[in-house]
Amino acid sequence: MAVATGKSFASRFGVHIAVFTFVAIWTVPTLGILVSSLRDKDQIIASGWWNSFASSTQTEAGRLPPASAQVEKDGKFVLEGNIFGDDPARDINSFGVKSSAPTQYPAGTTADLGDGETLQLNADGSFVMTSTKPFEGERGQRVYYASSAPPKFTTDNYNTVLFSEGIGRSFMNSLTVTIPATVIPILIAAFAAYALAWMRFPGRALLIAVIIGLLVVPLQMSLIPLLKLYNGVGSFFGVPSKTYLGIWLAHTGFGLPFAIYLLRSYIAGLPREIMESARIDGASDFEIFVKIVLPLSFPVLASFAIFQFLWVWNDLLVAMVFLGTEGDQIVLTAKLNALLGSRGGDWEILTTSAFITIVVPLIVFFSLQRYFVRGLLAGSVKGG
């Protein structure tokens, strides 16, 4: 579709700018949590993540030592030391002694505080305060200073989140839910799809219509009856009602209409001649399906597998209804939702957990995008 429009330089430039803007809006939010998850947790709240490569500046207050620490030198009374103590991790840019002017003097200069007192505060935090009269009082001089810290990146957040916040465990739970819930529907759907595409039997058209109808039935319709059913089965057999087996089957059920629909439209499009020549050679439907249809359908099976994987991995609703909220069952999405409640303002925890939640889908998505797009097109355009 190469339309010969926008020939002028200005309009072509405009297209580049417009697309660039769209791309920026669509990627910057995700970039924000990735960058934040790698930042030091004190810096996350001190400056926006877009400033994370610049030094973060903050203004703080400190106190010099009390009068008891003074020494007499050359007829002057002197207080010396480092305002950071033993850990000079930051650089001081400027300082002051009044809260109304906390950055009055540049670092390294000697400020005349009047009354014969001077104060010098250096960039590394060391200070010298002198006075012509002895210092008095229990409390030392109050000092304000603006300091900057170099950008600090760390993987500490990942350690914390994976091993002490329970995200690591939830990651395993998510895998436990997702893999069987992706594999089980494929075979069941493939057999049904073949029968609906190539076998003649009464009621076939009705079945296809029912499946297309079920494609759009909201999940909400199923939740309460299934919850009651699971509770009933659980108490009848004396087993827990929230089990992995339960959620595997639930996801299989919810995924089947799409699976059958997608596979059927693909399998129905396979060349008739292949089927017929195999049948003339005496192959049964079962043999045709296993030896011819399955191998030829690989692309569509892959498409469905990716869909189902992403859908199950990203699902919150089904997991919240059919799985428990304890450590041994809670999946990543539900855990992230719980953290939003309990660790609402702790962005180092939230951004890191969110990134761990989305990293698997992103990998799957990037490596198998071709199949994903193909499934998307087949699933929505053909039958509509």
Partner 1 sequence: MAAQIFSAITVIIVGVGGCVAYFWGANKLVDIIFPSRGVAGAAAIDNLRRQGMIRPWLFVGPAMIILTIYLIYPVVETLRLSFLDRGGANFVGLANYEWAFGDREFRNAIFNNIIWLAVVPAACTFLGLIIAVLTDKIWWGTIAKSLIFLPLAISFVGASVIWKFIYEYRGAGQTQIGLLNAIIQYFGGQPQVWISLPFWNNFFLMIILIWIQTGFAMVILSSALRGIPEETLEAAVIDGANPFQIFWKIMVPQIWGTIAVVWTTITILVLKVFDIVLTMTNGQWNSQVLANLMFDWMFRGGGDFGRGATIAIIIMIAVIPIMIWNIRQANKETGGH
Q: Which of residues 121-150 bind partner 1 (CB under 8 A)?
A: none
Residues comprising the chain, all counted: 384
Answer whether 301's CB lies under 8 Å from 307's CB.
no
- Asked if residue 4 binds partner 1 (CB under 8 A), the reply is yes
Tokens for 36, please give them.
Answer: 């934040």
- Asked if residue 119 binds partner 1 (CB under 8 A), the reply is no
Q: How far apart are the first and last CA of the chain?
A: 24
Task: Closer to partner 1 by CB, 110 or 380: give it.
Answer: 380
Task: Closer to partner 1 by CB, 67 or 227: give it.
Answer: 227
Element (H, E) at 370: helix 369-380
Kindly tell me which residue out of 75, 245, 295, 342 binds partner 1, with binding defined by CB under 8 A. Answer: 245
Q: How far apart are CA 270 and CA 260, in angstroms?
A: 15
- Asked if residue 206 binds partner 1 (CB under 8 A), the reply is no
Q: Write out the E strands in the chain.
A: 56-63, 71-73, 76-82, 91-96, 105-106, 110-114, 117-121, 126-131, 142-149
Handedness of CA 17, 19, 25, 31 (dihedral sign): negative
Q: How far apart are CA 183 and CA 175, in angstroms?
A: 12
Contacts (CB under 8 A) with partner 1, residues 322-351: 328, 333, 336-337, 340, 347, 350-351
Q: At closest approach, how far in Å is the CB of 194 from partner 1?
A: 6
Contacts (CB under 8 A) with partner 1, residues 82-111: none
For the chain, the farthest-separated pair of C-alpha atoms sits apart, in whole angstroms, at 116
- Asked if residue 320 binds partner 1 (CB under 8 A), the reply is yes
Q: Which residues contact 182 (CB under 8 A, 6 or more apart)?
A: 305, 308, 309, 312
In terms of phi and psi (left: phi > 0; alpha: psi -120 to 50; beta: otherwise), the region of 81 is left
Kindly tell me which residue out of 130, 131, 170, 252 binds partner 1, with binding defined by CB under 8 A. Answer: 252
Contacts (CB under 8 A) with partner 1, residues 344-383: 347, 350-351, 353-354, 357-358, 361-362, 364-365, 369, 373, 376-377, 380-383
Q: At closest approach, how far in Å is the CB of 63 from partner 1?
A: 24
**CA 224 and chain centroid, separation:** 30
Q: Which residues contact 365 (CB under 8 A, 6 or more apart)?
A: 306, 310, 372
Contacts (CB under 8 A) with partner 1, residues 147-176: 169, 172-173, 175-176
Buried b or exposed e, range 341-361, using 16+ CB within 10 angstroms: eeeeebbbbbbbbbbbbbebe
Kindly tell me which residue out of 8, 68, 220, 342 binds partner 1, with binding defined by CB under 8 A. Answer: 220
- Asked if residue 310 binds partner 1 (CB under 8 A), the reply is yes
- Asked if residue 256 binds partner 1 (CB under 8 A), the reply is yes
The residue range among 80-88, 91-99, 123-131, 192-200 that interacts with partner 1, by the rule CB under 8 A, is: 192-200
Contacts (CB under 8 A) with partner 1, residues 6-35: 6, 12, 15-16, 18-20, 22-23, 25-30, 32-33
Task: Closer to partner 1 by CB, 119 or 319: give it.
Answer: 319
Size of the site for partner 1 (CB under 8 A): 124
The residue range among 4-12, 98-106, 119-127, 137-145 that interacts with partner 1, by the rule CB under 8 A, is: 4-12
Contacts (CB under 8 A) with partner 1, residues 265-304: 268, 284-286, 289
Strand order in the sheet with 117-121: 71-73, 76-82, 126-131, 117-121, 110-114
- Asked if residue 240 binds partner 1 (CB under 8 A), the reply is no
- Asked if residue 69 binds partner 1 (CB under 8 A), the reply is no
- Asked if residue 219 binds partner 1 (CB under 8 A), the reply is yes
**DSSP symbols for 288-349:** HIIIIIHHHTHHHHHHHHHHHHHHHHH--HHHHHHS-SSTTT--HHHHHHHHHHHTTT-HHH
Q: At closest approach, how far in Å is the CB of 47 from partner 1?
A: 6
Q: At closest approach, how far in Å is the CB of 183 from partner 1?
A: 6
Kindly tell me which residue out of 248, 304, 322, 371 binds partner 1, with binding defined by CB under 8 A. Answer: 248
Angle 325-330-335 from CA coordinates, rounded to 5°: 95
